[in-house]
Structure 1
Amino acid sequence: MKQKKMVESTISIKDSEMKSYFNQNKDSLATEAQVKASHILVADEKTAKEVKAKLDKGEDFAKLAKEYSTDTASKSDGGNLGYFKKGDMVEAFANKAFSMKVNEVSDPVKTEYGYHIIKVTGKKEAQKATYENSKAKIKQTLLDQKYQTEYPTWLQKLKKKYDITNKLDS
């Protein structure tokens, strides 16, 4: 960390470099639409319908996820999957989640993992990249790139300055 800080202090990044990087990488800096959802995953359709009936009667989604879900990664957090892009999930799951409104609970959705009951808890619209919103990310990317090329030169200068001798080679 100290070495990186020392080398980075010798690196300068011009605004023109950042703008050029932005123009060349605009598409990758944009953000796709995202959905925040929770789910209850069960093995069979009978259990899925049973859980859905309990939800329809007003039972708590998170509580039922902890009780019924077979997804060990999310069940302890009430089935919370956080935000995800469409391509992050299997197609049937993603298609359903992205077609729902916030706070809507789905009927069971079958995938190769079992039956999901999905609750959408948030949505983020896709956003085109702007230079202003991307500046910090661009600067860090360029800094990381320049660090990789500057570090060997910086290290050689230090070795010459302090006349370091490696006595372990013999």
Structure 2
Amino acid sequence: MGVIRHISDYAIPAIFIIILSAAVLKKVKAFDLFIDGAKDGIETVIKIMPSLAGLLVAVGVFKASGALEILTFLLRPVIDLLGMPPEVAPLALLRPISGSASFAFVTDIIKAFGPDTYEGRVAATMMGSTETIFYTLAVYYGSVGIKNIRYTLVAAIMADIISVIASLWACRFIFG
């Protein structure tokens, strides 16, 4: 363990030195390229800012309005059919929208029930196997200016539903 930790302390500086050495050997102006990349990064952030701001406002409104609780209540027959703990259902609904809000739900579930309970295991597995669809679409499509997402959203929601069901099945199969 000590040797591996010792080697890992030098991994980042070693990669940095390798990149700089390759730049010197190829006679590339590494600092100028670095500055150009940083400038492009700032431009990308500015491009996607409206999409992210809109998404954050929508998540706040969705949670504050009580719509999440109403939606969870309306989906209760499906939740029961799938064998999903009712405490985990808001996570399944919010995860495609917000990573930070879903992380807060997982934290609350684990604090309330513990990590080794069925609820805790389902929440952790669901958190790891699903994606923040709307955030990802806003960042990736917004950064290149694509407005028509075509079938991406439908495919992503289908994948998310399958991931939720697979998480429930895996936890039931592995942990009983």
TM-score, normalised via structure 1 length: 0.22
Instruction: Give 1 or 2 for the bigger CA radius of gyration.
Output: 1
TM-score, normalised via structure 2 length: 0.22
Higher fraction of strand: 1
Q: Answer 1 or 2: higher relative contact order, Cα 8 Å, separation at least 6.
A: 1
